[in-house]
Structure 1
Amino acid sequence: MLVETDSFSGVVFSEHGSPNTDVFTFSILLRPKEKDNITPFTPSLDDIVVAERIMKRCAEGDKISADSLAIGEVNDLSTYRRQYFGGINERGQKLIWINCFSKESGFDHKDWQKEIVEVQDGGDWYFNVVANISTEECYRFFRNSIGG
């Protein structure tokens, strides 16, 4: 499902389709040291709106919740496209992994609505974060390295 608003645009991946199963083979939706099993779910538009609000609040506070990782050095959030993947942890909490990549990067992502956007390096053109829409926290911020 494609989502377009004045402040963000992205695609919601279904729990039943590829590449969602690939996302959940990794522990990207878990906090470090958590060992929960994650069950995929397809986020609703309401879930996405809540996840976006959480990510925006974290970006404005320049940290990612209890992980205290700086989200600084990313551009204005409206300049990024998003990919949304949903999961539910063993406590029943809804988690959304938001994969962000710049609309203006020089990289060609013609299949971004079907495939996970992954790059080596890329700097602040690429980042991702998990929004826990049940607790309204965000964590596991990751910004690509600059390389070199």
Structure 2
Amino acid sequence: MNKLIIFFCLLFNNTNETTYIKGKGFTGYIFNENHFVLMSIENQKMRYTPNRKDILNAEKLLKGNLKCKNSEQANQKKGCPVIHKNLKKYIRQYVGFINTEGEKIIWINFLWDKNIDESRLKQDIIMTHDGCSHYWNIKINIDKEVLYELNINGNG
């Protein structure tokens, strides 16, 4: 009986892990598909855990296409950074989804604040109100190579 309890404890603890990832010009945390997040995407079929290749593809698409997507530069004035010029300064949180078409979608949360406790970054998605472009997020369909739903916090 004790072995069974230990097995379930290990299984439960491993399903919610996040993975630290560092690449050229970015750092972040990949949230496991079983990690509870209070979000979904349109036409969601299921969650999945992005792998390193998925993240590298998403980052490549981001770097190549964000400037065009960010042409209006909403909430990026008066002391707020222009996001496509400052990508390296943001810490990321990655959440993976599969839509009903079977395509991989990665939602990326960007946080400017370097003083955020690492243990907090690993535990939960950090959502803030206001803060202008210090905090923003975007969805990337890595199969169709499309960025969409760019959301930049307001200037509260």
TM value normalised by structure 2: 0.75
Q: Which residue of 2 aligns with 1:43?
A: 50
Amino acid at match of 1:112: L
- From 31, 43, 61, the equivalent of 1:13 is 31
- Deviation, 1:18, is 2.6
Q: Distance in 2 between matches of 1:7 and 1:116?
A: 21
1:92 aligns with 2:110: no
Q: Structure 1's 99 and 122: CA in aligned 2 closer, same or farther, altered over 3 A? A: same
- From 15, 18, 23, the equivalent of 2:39 is 23
Do the aligned residues in 2 keep the contact of 1:109 with 1:117 (CA within 8 Å)? no
Q: Which residue of 2 aligns with 1:76?
A: 86
Higher-helix-fraction structure: 2
Amino acid at match of 1:50: N
For structure 2, the 5+ residue unaligned runs are 1-18, 77-81
What SS does structure 2 have at the residue aligned with 1:38? strand
Q: Which residue of 1 aligns with 2:124?
A: 115
Indicate the structure (1 or 2) with the bigger Cα radius of gyration: 2
Do the aligned residues in 2 keep the contact of 1:3 with 1:10 (CA within 8 Å)? yes
Q: Distance in 1 between matches of 2:61 and 2:149?
A: 13
What SS does structure 1 have at the residue aligned with 2:123? coil
What SS does structure 2 have at the residue aligned with 1:112? helix
Amino acid at match of 2:66: A
Which structure's relative contact order is higher, taking Cα pairs within 8 Å and 6+ residues apart? Answer: 1
Aligned residue pairs: how many? 130
Q: Distance in 1 between matches of 2:45 and 2:152?
A: 23
Q: Distance in 1 between matches of 2:154 and 2:92?
A: 19
